[in-house]
Structure 1
Amino acid sequence: MHARDNKSDVGGEGSDEQYGAAAEVLGLLADPTRLHLLRLLNTEHDVTTLTGKVEASRSSVSQHLGRLRLAGLVQARREGRRMLYRITSDHLAGLVDEALGYAYHAVHDIPHHRGDAAPRPGTAHHPD
């Protein structure tokens, strides 16, 4: 899967193809290790470095990177004997950041408000 640079429907209703591609990306992000790896890959890292930063074995990190690479979400380049990995898209990096920001609010029970949307059940609404 490769992201397209088609801005004709950005912000619009979206096509079935766009919804399918988005669901596929979100499915890949649904794994905590892959999400963590993508967050770290805003800069290049090799497998050894990544393994030291996530709670997963080297073989697991390699498998996750392979899956992300096949999906076109990360790219790799060889430097001597090492492979260096990096996220491929600013949009994807933003999506990861947004997901983690949302999760931070959820974990710390910080209300999410959007305009006139009602607060989450169990949270008090304090008018400004």
Structure 2
Amino acid sequence: MADREHSRSATRRGEEDALGGDDPHIHVESKVVRGVAAVREMMASTFGLAGDLPSLVDTGCGLRAPYAMTSPRPENVTCLACREHAWQEHLRFAGEIERLGGMAGSAISTAQAKLAAEKHRELAERFSGPRRAE
């Protein structure tokens, strides 16, 4: 309930939070499975090009937050709505990977698909649990 209120009030504040206002939470990108940093890293390793990271990103709770206030690591994410979003996205992606591995002519084997799906299910489980105390 408190986190829903956080999301609603943050949405009303709009640009204040988008510009790094008073939102103390660490969020996840809305595309947590296919994040900006992962795409940037792949482009750099493939083509030797490294573009600038965006200053603001869409988050799992619906806000636009500074990239520096996001993390793909469950231990760092403090926004409950973002944790739930990441949990759902990793579970959804695990299912997609398993279906892909089972298709005839797939570029990945069934064993590879199961391994990747298990990794995403483990990440989903870490997002579903409480954030560790520091």
**Which structure: greater strand fraction?**
1
- Larger Cα-atom Rg: 1
The verdict on a shared fold, with TM-score over 0.5 as the criterion, is no
| Greater RCO (Cα-Cα under 8 Å, separation 6 or more) | 2
**Which structure: greater helix fraction?**
2
* TM-score (structure 2 length as normaliser): 0.29
